[in-house]
Amino acid sequence: MAGAVPFGATGANEGASLVRLAHYPFLPEVRDAVRQAGPDLPTLLASPLYQGARTRARQRIEGALGEGFAAATILDERTALLELLSIPVARMAVVLLADATLIKRYAAAEAARARATLARDPDLEALPRAAAALGIPIEATEQGFRLHFSDYIRLAPTHNPEWKLIRRTVAAGFLLLAPAELARLCEEALARRITDELEAERGKPLPPEAKSALAPLMASLEPQLEEARANWSSGDFGPVQPQLFPPCIKEIFESLKRNENVPHHGRFAFATFLHTVGWNSEQILDYLSSTPNFDREKSRYQIEHVSGAKSVQAYTPPGCGTMQTNGVCPLAKRDNLCVRIKHPLSYYRSQLRQQQRDQERAAALAAATPNGPPGPPSAPSPPSDKVVTR
Amino acid sequence: MSPDGPSVTSVAGPAAAPKPDKIPQPTEFPPAVAKTIDWLQVEFAKWYRKNPPPMPDRFTRREFGYILWPERPGPPPFLRHRAYEDADKFHWYLQKAGPHSVYYSTAYYRRPGEMKMVDKQWLGAELIFDLDADHLVEAEKAKAEGHEMPLAEQLALVKTQFKRLLDDFLFGDFGLSEDDVWITFSGGRGYHAHVTESRLMQLDSKARREVVDYITGKVPTERGTETPDLSTFIHEAVVDADSFQGRTKKVTRESMAPATAPGWPGRLTRTLVGELRKNVLEADAKDARKWLTSLEGVGDTRAKTFLAKFDERMLERIARGNIDQGQTVRSIVYHVLQQQTIPMAKGETDEPVTADIKRLIRLPGSLHGKSGLKVVTLRREQLDAFDPFVDAVAFPMDETRTITPRNDQEMTLGGQRVAVKKGEAAQVPLPHAVFWLARQGGTIVLPKV
């Protein structure tokens, strides 16, 4: 492993190598290096010598629960080893916490950390080496990194307009990437790899000794996960309020009422949206029952399929880009909020927040006015005829 | 929903709205229709005996599906989730059932015969492009104006766009070789391209949607607006600084890629030059102005300024990518961009086939149940000369049948133009008989036994 050593590392050659590897734990040579220099699993999980690794593992997960974590300061072979050893500990803990969102967030945090390091690495070989390790077949040319467009669309965050393929010059199947762009694709590839690996691990039981050795760490992490879950808020939307739905969902319902043929993608978006904001299939069916030609049994089958009751997975509603590609987005009916969001759920979430702010303001106003409107000022009643309690 | 939407007050929901009366549907076909459907099925089965379709590659990994001939009014039966370990069983079924339409999955599965999609275990799928006459804005426009575009004309138009899809995008930008792309005439109203390149076969639905967006020219809009963001194609560069009374102003020039550049940037400049040549340089002044002002964002003043400067030399400069009439050119560029895209969906509501990784598609070598034409596999160099009404005719021209037409109709198949009158029994070539009867244009008259 020749080349510049970042972050002022010193030491013997193997030391330098381990120090280098500590920043890029996904490189294939890490496994052997750690196996050679590191302890066995019981020692890692219990010995006071490796307390540093366990503390860093907790930092990694706490970072994943919140805003991510920073790169460690690697001074020597010892800190490098602790950094590398913290990763298997963190991964075991994430698997034990058994939360799909946490897995995604953990993978994203690890990948973001790796990209930040890659972006600052003065070693010109670091980026192509990372790309190769992550299965991104690039070719370094004078104009930039050359990549096949299929790999680009496989990895690029194309929901972001900046990354649309049409913004690239695609010539004979290939396009060119700047170093920062390749680093971003590395981040995507790494996040996916970690997610896939941890999802696969979830099915395998951990040895009981390891489990009990991890117990103290778990005890400190579990309440934090609980708290973080409440903030992620993806699950709980409160009572369903149809008047706050985005224009696309309203439009589909109007089409259904007008007895127009709603294409498959529209019905899919509709059912998955209603399911995600908290209705069960019976409630969706009740909602649909005012539409003409309503066939309860047929609709039930379809809804239960997308909501996970009859199939393996529950589907989430498609984002705005997909809705537009599929022709489900009523382009002309988009409003000011639509242009700021990328997902129908974000629209609904944003509307809910706005409503809450309005209500708080109204409440504050009512409290401040001595002869305010009658009724409990702290809880102005929402338009109750539109609300379904879950 | 909207304020007048339904009020939902409890888990149980509102009292169910009264169901509108369904239009009573006949449960039986009239005997002549039933007899015609039987006849079509027998002809199809006979045809498959003589013409077993070649098996698609890795057919044991594919799902097969069929539309059968209907036994009663309503949607026809659709069989799917079939899998075959050997070709004989498949061909035996075709010869026995003579199905209306035969489909196979563009996807490969570990267990293609499983009833649930998740159990099939997806291994990869061809990347499919389906260009259909239904997607033609021109045909839709003609229909709205009250005159149906003849099918032959629609198919010719689809073919032009299909060739552009192949040459500009698949072989051009995407650098695919002819061996990577299967081309078929669908037997009905369009053409299919099946891309079998291994990297593309692994793409998920999201990545395929990005391919659709690329080919359909879906340019992102400027943040928070509806205006297309053309900054990818039109660059603004500071070329100088102007100082006036102590203030400095940037002097910028807008540029595009030269016409020789690859990908969308070069294609846009090429088309831009072509359009300007046709509509401005070679048009008379009045038409040129009319064309310019018809573009969004170009008013009379802009058009006038543009025309005053425009000549062959300016066109050459544009071909090299130098634009000095930024605003006007920008409007034309957007217009041109829309022209160069490939329509892949019907209006705004069709689902693009390309994004679907579990699609069933017509089997090459099978018969199309609405035309009796066959799905023909083509090479690129055969496409120009390909005439669906000659080259996709499946049934022999030298056999005839007697039919009772439901309308006056005429049709040229296999080079033979045949016209029939409503209600007048006529003896016609077998391909014409199948073509008309398959689209419910009459009934069969069978010889008395």
What ranges in chain A are assigned the alpha helix state H? 13-23, 30-37, 41-46, 51-65, 77-97, 100-120, 126-133, 149-155, 179-202, 208-232, 247-257, 264-276, 281-288, 296-306, 320-325, 344-368
Q: How large is the ipTM? A: 0.84
A305-319, A346-360, B64-78: segment of lowest average pLDDT: A305-319
* Distance in angstroms (rounded) separating the CA atoms of residues A94 and B80: 42
CB spacing of A170 vs B118 below 8 angstroms? no
- Give yes or no: residues B175 and B248 share one domain: no
Q: What is the pLDDT of residue A293?
A: 67
pLDDT exceeds 70 at position B22: no
Q: What is the pLDDT of residue B338?
A: 66
Would residue A375 be called left, alpha or beta, if left means φ above 0 and alpha means ψ between -120 and 50 degrees? left
CB spacing of A149 vs B174 below 8 angstroms? yes
* Distance in angstroms (rounded) separating the CA atoms of residues A219 and A28: 33
Pairing of strands B376-378, B181-185: antiparallel
Helix and strand numbers (H, E) in chain B are: 15, 18
What is the tens place of the pLDDT at every residue in B274-319?
Answer: 888 888 889 888 898 888 888 777 788 888 888 888 889 888 988 9
Residue B435 and residue B411 in contact, taking contact as beta carbons nearer than 8 Å: yes
Please, which residues bridge with residue B78 across strands?
A: B67
Closest CA–CA distance from residue A320 to any residue of chain B (Å): 12
- Give yes or no: residues B76 and B149 share one domain: yes
CB spacing of B7 vs A328 below 8 angstroms? no
Q: What is the pLDDT of residue B351?
A: 54
- Give yes or no: residues B339 and B280 share one domain: yes
pLDDT exceeds 70 at position A10: no
Q: What is the pLDDT of residue A388?
A: 36
Most confident of A155-159, A297-301, A362-366, B225-229: A155-159
Q: Which helix (H) or strand (E) holds B241?
A: strand B235-244
pLDDT exceeds 50 at position B134: yes
Instruction: Provide, rounded to the nearest whole percent, the portion of chain B with pLDDT above 70.
Output: 89
* Distance in angstroms (rounded) separating the CA atoms of residues B46 and B48: 5
Tell me whether residue B132 is one of the annotated catalytic residues: yes
CB spacing of B16 vs A289 below 8 angstroms? yes
B275 vs A311, more confident: B275
Q: What is the pLDDT of residue A321?
A: 84
Only one residue has tokens 């075991």, namely A92
Q: Which residues of A touch B214 (CB under 8 A)?
A: 164-166, 170
What is the tens place of the pLDDT at every residue in B164-209?
Answer: 999 999 999 999 999 999 999 999 999 999 999 999 999 998 899 8
Question: Residue A258 — φ and ψ, nearest 5°?
Answer: -80, 5
Check CB contact of A2 with chain B, cutoff 8 Å: no
Q: Which residues of A touch B207 (CB under 8 A)?
A: 150, 153-154, 158
pLDDT exceeds 90 at position B133: no
Nearest residue on chain B to A254, alpha-carbon basis: B1
Please report, for residues A214, B363, B407, B426, B443, the alpha-carbon distance to residue B422 in angstroms, rounded to integers and kept in the order given. Answer: 85, 34, 4, 10, 11
Q: Under DSSP, is residue B420 helix (H, G, I), strand (E, B) or coil?
A: strand
CB spacing of B213 vs A164 below 8 angstroms? yes
Q: What is the pLDDT of residue B322?
A: 83
List all residues 6 or more positions away from B363 whose beta carbon is below 8 Å from its beta carbon. Answer: B53, B56, B64, B102, B103, B104, B375
Mean pLDDT value across residues B151-159 = 91
Q: What is the pLDDT of residue A376?
A: 43
| Residues of A (280-309) whose Cβ lies below 8 Å from B | 282-283, 285-287, 289-294
CB spacing of B352 vs A149 below 8 angstroms? no
Mean pLDDT value across residues B376-389 = 96
In a domain, B408, yes or no: yes
Domain boundary among the residues B345, B375, B406 is at: B345
Average model confidence (pLDDT) across chain B:
85
- Give yes or no: residues B35 and B115 share one domain: yes
B88 vs A3, more confident: B88
Please report, for the domain that includes residue B175, its CATH number: 3.90.920.10
Most confident of A236-240, B11-15, B131-135: B131-135
Residue A173: which of B175, B209, B355 has the nearest Cβ? B175
- Give yes or no: residues B78 and B171 share one domain: yes
Domain boundary among the residues B345, B378, B410 is at: B345
Q: Under DSSP, is residue A210 helix (H, G, I), strand (E, B) or coil?
A: helix
CB spacing of A161 vs B220 below 8 angstroms? yes
What is the tens place of the pLDDT at every residue in A152-166?
Answer: 999 999 888 889 999
Q: What is the pLDDT of residue B391?
A: 97
DSSP category for residue B86:
S
Q: Which residues of A touch B17 (CB under 8 A)?
A: 289-291, 294
Q: Under DSSP, is residue A330 helix (H, G, I), strand (E, B) or coil?
A: coil
Confidence band for B24, pLDDT divided at 50, 70 and 90: low
pLDDT exceeds 80 at position A20: yes
Domain boundary among the residues B312, B345, B378 is at: B345
CB spacing of B352 vs A325 below 8 angstroms? yes
In a domain, B413, yes or no: yes
Check CB contact of B140 with chain A, cutoff 8 Å: no
Tell me whether residue B180 is one of the annotated catalytic residues: no
Residue A165: which of B8, B12, B210 has the nearest Cβ? B210
> How many domains does chain B divide into?
3
CB spacing of B213 vs A161 below 8 angstroms? no
Residue B9: which of A164, A291, A385 has the nearest Cβ? A385
A175-184, A192-201, A280-289, B336-345: segment of lowest average pLDDT: B336-345
* Distance in angstroms (rounded) separating the CA atoms of residues A170 and B5: 48
Check CB contact of B214 with chain A, cutoff 8 Å: yes
Confidence band for B138, pLDDT divided at 50, 70 and 90: confident
Domain span at residue B91 reads 31-216+349-394
| Residues of A (247-266) whose Cβ lies below 8 Å from B | 250, 253-254, 263-266
In a domain, B14, yes or no: no
Residue A264: which of B118, B347, B351 has the nearest Cβ? B351
- Give yes or no: residues B238 and B134 share one domain: no
CB spacing of B2 vs A311 below 8 angstroms? no
Mean pLDDT value across residues A123-127 = 92
Q: Which of A24, A197, A30, A52 is nearest to A111 (CA)?
A: A24
Average model confidence (pLDDT) across chain A:
82
In a domain, B10, yes or no: no
Q: What is the pLDDT of residue A286?
A: 76
- Give yes or no: residues B375 and B411 share one domain: no
In a domain, B169, yes or no: yes
Check CB contact of B174 with chain A, cutoff 8 Å: yes
In a domain, B341, yes or no: yes
Nearest residue on chain B to A244, alpha-carbon basis: B1
- Give yes or no: residues B53 and B104 share one domain: yes
Cβ burial of B188 (10 Å; 0-12, 13-18, 19+) is buried
Check CB contact of A243 with chain B, cutoff 8 Å: yes
- Give yes or no: residues B336 and B251 share one domain: yes
Catalytic residue among B130, B134, B180, B356: B130
Q: What is the pLDDT of residue B325?
A: 62
CB spacing of A164 vs B173 below 8 angstroms? no
In a domain, B163, yes or no: yes
Residue B173: which of A170, A250, A290 has the nearest Cβ? A170
- Give yes or no: residues B402 and B386 share one domain: no
- Give yes or no: residues B81 and B199 share one domain: yes
Q: Which residues of B touch A253 (CB under 8 A)?
A: 1, 5
Q: What is the pLDDT of residue A365?
A: 82
Among A168, A169, A268, A338, which would you mutate to test the B interface (most chain B Cβ atoms within 10 Å of its Cβ)?
A169
pLDDT exceeds 60 at position B234: yes
Q: Which residues of B touch A313 (CB under 8 A)?
A: 118
pLDDT exceeds 60 at position B87: yes
Q: What is the pLDDT of residue B17?
A: 44
Check CB contact of B165 with chain A, cutoff 8 Å: no
Catalytic residue among B38, B168, B213, B350: B350
Q: Which residues of A touch B19 (CB under 8 A)?
A: 292-294
Q: What is the pLDDT of residue B11?
A: 33
Q: Under DSSP, is residue B288 helix (H, G, I), strand (E, B) or coil?
A: helix
Tell me whether residue B4 is one of the annotated catalytic residues: no
Q: What is the pLDDT of residue A280?
A: 75
List all residues 6 or more positions away from A78 whose beta carbon is below 8 Å from its beta carbon. Answer: none
Q: What is the pLDDT of residue B417?
A: 96
B311 vs B392, more confident: B392
Helix axes A51-65, A208-232, angle to 10 degrees: 30
- Give yes or no: residues B199 and B55 share one domain: yes
In a domain, B238, yes or no: yes
Closest CA–CA distance from residue B19 to any residue of chain A (Å): 6
Closest CA–CA distance from residue A222 to any residue of chain B (Å): 33
Check CB contact of A332 with chain B, cutoff 8 Å: no
pLDDT exceeds 70 at position B30: yes
